[in-house]
Amino acid sequence: MRMSPKPIQSFRDDFTYSNSPGAIARFPFPFPEDEYMYSVNIEPHVTPGPEGSVYEHLLDIDEHYLSEMHERDLVLKENPKRCLAMPHMDLACWDMIDRVMTCFAADYPEHFSLEREGDHWTWENKLLNIKDSFTFGDSSTLPMPPMEYIGRQVQGDFALLDQRDGDLFLDAGIVTCPADWSLAFDAGMSFKEWHGPVPLAHGMGVFDRALKYLCAISQGRPVRRLNWTLTINARMDTSPETYPQWGTDRASVTPDNVGEKVHLRVELQVLDRMSRSNALMFSIRTYLISMNDLVTNPEWAKRMHRVMKSLPPELIEYKGLTRYHPMLVEWLSRFDPAN
Ligand code: HEM
């Protein structure tokens, strides 16, 4: 981590979340062109990636680490069902422990360490003051179930997909900051079932091709893609379960507060084959940036305007932007010299 974690900031109520200039500079801006449409935008996640970038390591941690871990704790206290693992996913959960701990200890040795003597493992997380010894594979030796244990120490949501009959099934996950979808609702569904609500992409064959690609991912060859939406306020937890708390935020956008209220929400999604269970680990690392911060980069500002202006109506509706989209386009237009 090039930036040290900041003291805890909030993703709710008073929304004290902010990005430092360094965090803005490394923000994964997701638009390579002036127009956006769904595609099979999957590429190899070759690590180490560019130094200091969000692609440097398998799993990126940054200045928001403590804030996100605090927010995860709040969400899990409110609703423990945001973390669930079907019994046949136990081995996959231990695979996740192995992969995360091994990578963190190698990639961020100043914060994490792992000692292994056979099945006897000792893990230290200096950021959260955790030091535990446990027997690998024996859940009774951890203070909580394995997926929750590791999920509370790593930024981003996680799903573990069981692969069988040429399909993927959402059989485990820890999901506390979703972009309007519910783990409890999608649990047990297949790849095309949980993608059911997405418009246009099914007809374009996106999910047929993506599924074939994913089923063929081999161990040690992770892949990644970016996904994006917009969120009002720096709210991490936009789940259907908490809709009453954030649904009305969309009506709070005015021409005067677009820059501060509207946030681009980018998900860096990494898919990684697990060694023992053959499950796929799917990590969804969410980055939030306010429009005010985004337009400090003139190229991003111009492109954001063009992408928003030309966004297909189906996507505007699906992503929940209908109410404030015209206001946003108008606000962004001042940053586009062609306007
Ligand atoms: C949306 C999960 C992989 C493309 C979604 C949604 C979920 C999801 C839960 C929200 C659907 C809803 O509205 O209820 C996953 C999981 C994956 C995965 C667990 C791991 C296997 C992929 C891949 C692609 C993809 C590889 C590649 C094309 C999309 C698209 C959307 C979507 C285009 C709509 C996003 C938007 O417009 O905001 N995904 N997905 N997904 N997914 Fe995936």
Q: How confident is the model at residue 256 (pLDDT cuts 50, 70, 90)?
A: very high
Q: For 92, which DSSP code?
A: H
Count of the separate structural domains present in the chain: 1
Out of 157, 167, 170, 198, give the residue to mutate to test ligand 1, the one with the largest number of ligand atoms within 8 Å of its CB: 198
300-315: pLDDT as tens digits: 999 999 999 999 999 9
Residue 21's contacts (CB-CB under 8 Å, 6 or more residues apart) are none
Q: What's the pLDDT score for residue 4?
A: 83
User: At residue 3, does pLDDT exceed 80?
Assistant: no
Report whether pLDDT(6) > 70. Answer: yes
Helices H / strands E in the chain, number of each: 13, 10
Ligand 1 center to 330 CA (angstroms): 29
Give 213 Cα–ligand 1 centroid separation in angstroms: 14
> Around Cβ 10, how many Cβ atoms within 10 Å?
16
- 212-230 CB burial, b ≥16 within 10 A, e <16: eebeebeeeebbbbbebbb
Domain of residue 161, residue span:
21-333
Nearest CA to ligand 1 atom 24: 210
In-domain check, residue 338:
no
Does the C-beta of 123 come closer than 6 Å to ligand 1? no
Q: Is residue 14 part of a domain?
A: no
What is the average pLDDT score of the chain?
97
pLDDT exceeds cutoff 70 at 274 = yes
Can you tell me the mean pLDDT for 94-102? Answer: 98
User: CB of 170 closer than 6 A to ligand 1?
Assistant: yes
- E strands, 28-146, are 43-44, 83-85, 112-117, 120-125, 130-135
> In whole angstroms, what is the distance from residue 161 CA to residue 172 CA?
7
Query: What pLDDT is recorded for position 2?
Result: 60
Residue 322, number of CB atoms within 10 A of its CB: 12
Whether the per-residue pLDDT at 1 is higher than 80: the answer is no
Task: Taking residues 12-18, report their average pLDDT.
Answer: 98
pLDDT at 89: 98
CA atoms within 13 A on the CB side of 324: 24
Q: Is-contact 89 168, C-beta < 8 A?
A: no
Report if residue 243 sits inside a domain: yes
Q: What percent of the chain has pLDDT over 70?
A: 99
Task: Tell me which residue of 75, 57, 71 sits closest to 112, measured CA to CA.
Answer: 57
Q: How far apart are the C-alpha atoms of 228 and 266, rounded to whole Å? A: 4
Closest CA to 199 of 320, 41, 323, 305: 320
What b/e string do you get for 118-156 counting C-beta neighbours within 10 Å, with b at 16 or more?
A: eeebebbbebbeeeeebebeeeeebeebbbbbbbbbbbb
pLDDT tens digits for 163-207?
Answer: 999 999 999 999 999 999 999 999 999 999 999 999 999 999 999
Q: Are 202 and 210 in contact (CB under 8 A)?
A: no
User: Has residue 38 been placed in a domain?
Assistant: yes
Asked if the model's pLDDT at residue 155 lies above 80, the reply is yes
Asked whether residue 193 is assigned to any structural domain, the reply reads: yes
For the chain, give the percent of residues with pLDDT over 90. Answer: 98
> Average pLDDT for residues 245-267, to the nearest whole number?
97
Asked if residue 127 has pLDDT above 90, the reply is yes
Q: Please tell me the distance between residue 214's alpha carbon and the centre of ligand 1 in angstroms.
A: 13
Does residue 7 lie in a domain region?
A: no
Amino acid at 12: R
Average pLDDT on 126-130 reads: 98
Do the beta carbons of residue 159 and residue 147 sit within 8 Å? no
Using the mean position of ligand 1's atoms as its centre, give its distance from the Cα of residue 171 in Å. Answer: 15
Q: Where are the alpha helices (DSSP H) in 141-290?
A: 146-151, 183-186, 191-194, 206-215, 243-246, 258-261
Return the residue matching tokens 């594979």: 137
300 occurs within a structural domain: yes
What is the band of 339 on the pLDDT scale with cuts at 50, 70, 90? confident
SS3 content of the chain, % helix, strand, coil (to 5): 35, 20, 45
ipTM: 0.96
The reply to whether 225 belongs to the active site is yes
The predicted structure's pLDDT at residue 162:
98
Q: Return the pLDDT at 219.
A: 98
